[in-house]
Amino acid sequence: MSLDSIIQGGMVDHERPTRALVLMGGGARTAYQVGVLGALASMLRLQPGNDAHFPFQVLVGTSAGALNVAYLASGAARGMVAFDELRAFWGDLHCNHVYQLEAPAWVGFSRLLAAARLWGEARRRGAILDTMPLVDTLHRAIPLAGIDGALQAGALDAVAITASSYTSGVHWTFCQAATERQPWNRPGRRAEFQPLTIEHLMASSAIPFLFPATPLWVDGHREFFGDGSMRQVSPLSPAVHLGARKVLVVGVGQPERSGFGVGHVAGAPGFAGMAAHAMASVFHDTLQGDVEQTQRLARTLHELPRELASVLPYRAIEVLAIQPTESLDAIARKHAHLLPPTVQRALGGAAALRNGGGALASYLLFEPAFVQALVSLGEQDAYARKDELLAFFA
């Protein structure tokens, strides 16, 4: 994170300590975040003096993490029950609620035919999958008026969704806030304050090549947007710009790529393996560096003499990052057979997805068994760091 972001955040005055929740993207993998947040809510409910109010003032979401953020924001006025409702939403989810793909049975008998079919779908709508089911799901599940209600009631200070413009190459943060704020403009990164819509969510979660781009209006003209994880060089900066002093970030990466651990397949990678590697770079490779830099700046500021620190325009930002301790790719390989048959055929069959394509499957497996496995892992990882989480909210 750049120093100008820290300065900008340090100039925002708040009467209460501002905590931000930052949820990163990763398709179906973001079910992991549901488990972490559910466990966190259970911990906080057991604390003396708990008032069950929503524990964050700023919410920032990217890609599928933006869907989780919008869902939470729409229910934040009801307090921590919003976390329970988010879990129920994911528990009822299936792939056909998110996307569809028409691929005849004969496609599965030939890689060449499968590639031709995928290329035809991509040319027709700019992506392999049709995401109109997700549009319908979001309209039914997320009452956007609830976001404004939470802001007006003081349950939240701001909500932000990130997306990347295919048109200009700029990474945009779209914000909705309780009070008037100044947007920021940095090289390659801009912000704009406007009411959030389903179109913003679709743009932020448009996984490249898989989901189609979504048009949005910025600076008085239309641009086409894709997944907010693309060109996201500083995932934490929107939270800091919006006044956060403490940031809890939940990612869905992993300590090492599972393709080089359990289930490694020798030989040249297929389409599924290459696509998974590309998406892993898009979704996960910037978070760790941003967290480390922010923590390093915080340590430096704490080590300064108090007299000097008090006159500097910087404020230390406390960051707690949680990511899976187990390979989500390996979990996905065990559930790859649950993908819709058309998707399995188009991606080379269930065997290809098990043998090296588990990572690609993990982005598309919006099925209860896989979701529950990730939710359980999120709960397990959160409880393993219970002391850190409670200290964060102390």
Alpha carbon of residue 215 to chain centroid: 20
Gap between the Cα atoms of 65 and 28, Å rounded: 10
For residues 329 and 254, the answer to whether their CB atoms sit within 8 Å is yes
The DSSP code sequence of 211-240 is S--EEEEETTEEEEEE-TTTT-S-TTHHHH
CA distance 364 to 279: 12
252 contact partners, CB below 8 Å, separation of at least 6: 24, 25, 26, 29, 30, 32, 33, 283, 284, 323, 324, 328
Q: Please give the backbone phi and psi of residue 143, each rounded to the nearest 5 degrees, phi first.
A: -80, 100
* Residue reference for tokens 């949005």: 216
Q: How far is CA 61 from the centre of its chain?
A: 5
- Helix (H) or strand (E) run with residue 20 in it: strand 19-23
**Gap between the Cα atoms of 226 and 5, Å rounded:** 24
C-beta separation of 173 from 238 below 8 A: yes
Q: Which of 157, 227, 290, 381 is catalytic?
A: 227
Active-site annotation holds for 227: yes
- Contact predicate 188/2, CB 8 Å: no
* Residue of 5, 63, 165, 237 with catalytic role: 63
Question: 208 to each of 27, 49, 77, how far by Cα in Å?
Answer: 11, 45, 34
Could you confirm whether 258 is annotated as catalytic?
no
What are 69's two structure tokens? 């953020």
Asked if 209 contacts 123 with a C-beta cutoff of 8 angstroms, the reply is no
Residue 174 pairs in a beta bridge with: 161, 192
Count of beta carbons in the 10 Å neighbourhood of residue 203: 30
3-state secondary structure of 282: helix
Please list the active-site residues.
63, 227
